[in-house]
Amino acid sequence: MRLLGWEPYKRSLKYGVTLIPNSVLLLPFAAVIVWLAYKFVEEKMSPLQKIQDDSVGVVQATAFRSTVWTSKMIWSVIGVLFLTWLLYKLFKDEFTSLRKIPKPSGSLPVFGHVLTFLRQENHAKLLQDWSEKYGPIIRYNRGFGESRVLLTDPELIKYVVVTNAKNYRRSEFVRQVLPSIGNGLFSSNGKDHAFQRKLITPAFHFSNLVGMVEHFEDVAHNLVQLWTEQVNSSKEGVSEASISVDLTHLTLDIIGRCAFGYNFDTVLSGESEVSNAFSDVILEINFSRLMRQKLIPLYKYLPLPDNVRARKGLELTDKTVLEIIQARRKKKKEGGKVSSKPDLLDLLMDQYDEETGSSMDDELLRAQVFTFMLAGHETTSVSMMWTLYELARHPDIAEKIREEIKLVMKDSSEMTWAKLAEMKFLGNVIKESLRLHSPASVAIRIANKNDVIRGYEIPEGAVVALGIDAVHYSPKYWKDPHAFNPQRFDENDENYQAHHPYAFLPFSAGPRSCIGSKFAMAEMKAVLSTLLRHLTFEEIPGFTVRPVIRLTAKPDPPLRLRIRKLTS
């Protein structure tokens, strides 16, 4: 370990060894179980051994030898079966069509490329290096025979998400960790997904999103108020703000208002019981928890502090959401006015399939609300964290945004959808931030049936990883890819006109693309423009962050920036 360097491993262990699949850790666990069982039987047999020694009867001794022989035979069979299963798990891919796909060097027996990942902090660069050396389709091993087929060519990604999308389903990771998301839009597949998307799409129509801008701006002004008060209370006229924490509160308040008319009010009032409960649920959505659930039977039912907190949070959030849905449905049946501006819940309740007449029941509505809260809260807050991080590092770009805001807003203080649409440069800044800091570094799909990609056979059940970060950082598709350059998204720029449409995938593409992408872009524009009209952001000397993958790629440690009031 000293030869390889301990620090990268210590760092990875600190944040949870999410790259090591559960089956690797299952190996020693299973071996210990078999050994303990054998020792248990051995102990139980020892009294019989004494009986044999004291017995003068041949029949008893013969019966004892038969019992011992049977016991040893049983455990021998168990050992052979376990060894057979182990060898199958380790080498099964070497006997399928996957073995023909190029495989990077450095794969070790049992652990595969896990140690390579642990030693490389920048996984996007590692995947990009592999794709440049071995080609746009490679196979890497996550340990214990768990292979992934990595695609880093936009045309191949297009094939999976658009051309042959029906053959590739989402993994069940989120549903395994968060049962409350149910069979909602995010986790469903096949006909269920098509049915839900058909019903939900009208809710995100332009005419419905226009009314959401008021919520975006109101909550953004709450954050301006909070940060301004912090600056005013400081002696030097500068405050160090908890960007990650406060933006997380902001997006929760926004999605609560827009999704189902609930005001969490966490920006100004701090955490509430319900917001804390939802935060506890979100914190438990991570790979390390899934690893523990698979490794330890009935893990999620153990009375551990994390489990108890998550379970209580889930129960309270479930109860709150269902109560809101049932109260809303009751009010609609009674013909009462729900609200002056319908939220997403209202819109979803009114949708039905014209062909079948089917609509969403309360359970499916609950799953959709959880989906909106999860996607609209987590991914949007993280995206804005990274955008403010880049603007603090590039004050000239922040100033250029302010100039655009002045031109668009003129003497008006009211934000509208039309004005947000005019803020082209701000939109380009957000897109460039999403390119450099995509919430998801890869997107996972599972092959439903055998397929062929770039001449290689992809067997049923194969895990296909779409290398979003690898494509976003590829010099083949982006000039000077590591530079923060919003100009590259200018529609009049020749580089933008030449770029591949599937080389930029922060919202994925095809029938499984993010249904709320327009909502998210409008929300980020409204919030960031409001913040930049009143405040300036600077880096804190000596304070550095790096992306760490949980549910999304968050800044770690949580982002903090210096804030000052903008002087006109």
Binding residue positions for heme: 514
Residues 242 and 387: their CA atoms lie apart, in Å, by 15
* Cα of 335 vs its chain's centroid, Å: 40
Burial of 536: CB neighbours in 10 Å, binned 0-12, 13-18, 19+: buried
Angle at 335 between CA 333 and CA 339, to 5 degrees: 105
Residues 483 and 296: their CA atoms lie apart, in Å, by 44
Query: Which 3 state secondary structure label does DSSP give 535?
Result: strand
Query: Which 3 state secondary structure label does DSSP give 482?
Result: coil
Per the CB < 8 A criterion, the answer to whether 527 and 384 are in contact is yes
Q: To which residue do tokens 């999103």 refer? A: 209
Tell me the H-state helices in 55-136. 58-91, 114-119, 123-134
Instruction: Break the chain down into helix, strand, coil percent, rounded to 5.
Output: 60, 10, 30
Quick one: three-class SS letters along 251-265? HHHHHHHHHHCCCCC
Per the CB < 8 A criterion, the answer to whether 318 and 335 are in contact is no
Residues 213 and 253: their CA atoms lie apart, in Å, by 13
Count CB atoms within 10 A of the CB of residue 50.
9
Residues 118 and 14: their CA atoms lie apart, in Å, by 11
| HSE value, Cβ hemisphere, 13 Å, CA-based, for 350 | 12
Residues 110 and 24: their CA atoms lie apart, in Å, by 7
Per the CB < 8 A criterion, the answer to whether 502 and 467 are in contact is no
* Contact partners, residue 271, CB within 8 Å, separation at least 6: 249, 279
Count CB atoms within 10 A of the CB of residue 10.
11
Residues 60 and 284: their CA atoms lie apart, in Å, by 57
Residues 190 and 194: their CA atoms lie apart, in Å, by 6
Burial of 85: CB neighbours in 10 Å, binned 0-12, 13-18, 19+: exposed
Residues forming the annotated binding site? Answer: 514
* Contact partners, residue 465, CB within 8 Å, separation at least 6: 148, 149, 150, 151, 442, 443, 444
Helix (H) or strand (E) holding 549: strand 546-549
Residues 129 and 308: their CA atoms lie apart, in Å, by 43
Structure tokens at 177: 């960790």
